[in-house]
Amino acid sequence: MTQVGDADTVTLRKVITGASIGNAVEWFDFAIYGFLATFIAANFFPEGNDTAALLNTFAIFAAAFLLRPLGGFVFGPLGDRIGRHRVLALVILLMSAATLAIGLLPTYEAIGIAAPLLLLLMRCLQGFSAGGEYGGGAVYLAEFAEDRTRGRTITFMVWSGVLGFLLGSITVTLLEAGLSAEAMSTYGWRIPFLIAGPLGLVGLYIRLKLDDTPEFKELSANDEIASSPLRESIRTSWRQILQVIGMFVIFNVGYYVVFAYLPTYFIRTLEFSETGAFVSITAACLVAIVLILPLAALSDRIGRRPMLIAGSVGFAVFAYPLFLLLNSGSLAAAIAAHIGLAVIECVYISVAVSAGVEMFATRVRYSGFGVGYNLCVAVFGGTTPYIVTWLTASTENAIAPAYYIVVAAVISLVTVLTVRETAGRPLVTA
């Protein structure tokens, strides 16, 4: 029997582009919020306590992630009922509209308390739409991929996310280099958010040109689409949902420490220049862009579990010494430590999404993975910058984030040991 998920090279290239560009736009949108946190804090909260304003800014950053499970509950079942590509087109439209609106919001000085409330509303809309983006794109790629290269194909979602972070970092840095501090504070911070409008339209256009996956079309043709995918996924795949939650704890904690929090940590805690922070995050992103796809291809050969175990053990063992190196006082050493953390994160994230998606049957794949992934992101993803900022400030210990990483790594390692190997095997269709 011919594999349902097989696709010719041209079709697969279009599918990867369509899924990846939307994800890159999403993570560009999320990244610029993190990179512009200090400017947002100054514009949307009253003057006085800079640390409190920054914590409030990260709290709103985290609030968006609390809406992701709701988005997963809505868009996951919708994707299992009406098709993957239609939902992916809808979520990129919502995400880009919300990001564009942030760039147009009046400040606290202009409208008072309504400013942070509107910021919170737009961030929640971003989080709601993102609840259908990441898992949906991964499912879409999985159902087009060949068994022997599925890990590499799915991992274009992860790769494009890092690319979006890098583009966000470069955009913000170029603006800071080209504009005065006053100009950046008054209007320059808005520009990256305004860019989201045309970027979203490009992503929407590409996605509207795509067709649905062969596996979903076969389900539809055979009238086997689940009538209540969410209920069915919870009833039949509750174990897999719990495994995804546990497996993605270090995925999210590591990701948001390495790519979202450390630029701020470099400036506020380590007291390096913004240029030093930019060089470090750029180096970390470039290393990730180079490593992620080859590591994913390696997982197609040796399996997902060895890579997941290696990544979680790597964080458990090396997080503390790498944070000591970050705090050595040397910019070169700090950048090296940042790269080291990025390398460990790459080992894990290069296979985690593939392993998670492969756990579920086609009937409930979008719902099951979306629920597990987004619940984990809500608790351990968007909250990470806030928690590690609070830990560092309250304990007056710059190494505190390392402890949080170690605990997350142990949780994920224990979970990974319960997961069966899925590399190279056909997807479960029913």
**What confidence tens digit (pLDDT) does each residue in 337-358 have?**
999 999 999 999 999 999 999 9
User: What is the DSSP code string of 117-170?
Assistant: HHHHHHHHHHHHHHTTTHHHHHHHHHTTS-GGGHHHHHTHHHHHHHHHHHHHHH
The overall average pLDDT reported for the chain is 88
pLDDT for res 311? 98
Say whether pLDDT at 64 is over 80.
no
What residue numbers bound the domain in which 300 lies? Answer: 13-418
Mean pLDDT within 45-54: 71
pLDDT for res 50? 67
For residue 2, name the pLDDT band (cuts at 50, 70, 90).
very low
Q: Is residue 7 part of a domain?
A: no
Q: Is residue 234 part of a domain?
A: yes
Q: Is residue 426 part of a domain?
A: no
Q: What percent of the chain has pLDDT over 90?
A: 41
Q: Is residue 4 part of a domain?
A: no
Say whether pLDDT at 178 is over 80.
yes
8 Å CB contact between 303 and 336: no
| Between 319 and 261, residue with greater pLDDT | 319
Please tell me the total count of domains within the chain.
1
Residue 261 DSSP code: I
Say whether pLDDT at 35 is over 80.
no
Say whether pLDDT at 36 is over 70.
yes
For residue 48, name the pLDDT band (cuts at 50, 70, 90).
low
Measuring CA to CA, how many Å separate 237 from each of 59, 284, 339, 341, 354?
A: 32, 36, 37, 33, 17
Residue 225 DSSP code: -
pLDDT for res 49? 64
pLDDT digits (tens, 9 = 90+) for 359-379: 999 889 989 998 999 899 888
| Between 220 and 95, residue with greater pLDDT | 95
pLDDT for res 230? 86
Say whether pLDDT at 247 is over 90.
yes
For residue 220, name the pLDDT band (cuts at 50, 70, 90).
confident
**First CA to last CA distance, the chain:** 16
Q: Residue 353's closest CA among 338, 374, 339? A: 374
For residue 1, name the pLDDT band (cuts at 50, 70, 90).
very low
For residue 288, name the pLDDT band (cuts at 50, 70, 90).
very high
Say whether pLDDT at 4 is over 50.
no
Assigned token pair, 241: 């949902």
| Between 206 and 180, residue with greater pLDDT | 180
For residue 245, name the pLDDT band (cuts at 50, 70, 90).
very high
Q: Is residue 325 part of a domain?
A: yes
Say whether pLDDT at 145 is over 50.
yes
User: What is the DSSP code string of 300-369?
Assistant: HHH-HHHHHHHHHHHHHHHHHHHHHHHTTS-HHHHHHHHHHHHHHHHHHHHHHHHHHHTTS-GGGHHHHH
pLDDT for res 133? 84
Mean pLDDT within 97-122: 89
pTM here is: 0.86
Phi, psi of 336 (to 5 degrees): -60, -40
pLDDT digits (tens, 9 = 90+) for 201-217: 888 888 888 888 888 88
Assigned token pair, 215: 């596996």
8 Å CB contact between 429 and 365: no
**CATH number for the domain harbouring residue 337:** 1.20.1250.20
Q: Residue 359's closest CA among 228, 245, 212, 279? A: 245
pLDDT for res 413? 98
Q: Is residue 199 part of a domain?
A: yes
Q: Is residue 5 part of a domain?
A: no
8 Å CB contact between 207 and 22: yes
pLDDT for res 406? 97
Assigned token pair, 321: 């010494």
For residue 85, name the pLDDT band (cuts at 50, 70, 90).
confident
pLDDT for res 430? 64
Q: Is residue 427 part of a domain?
A: no
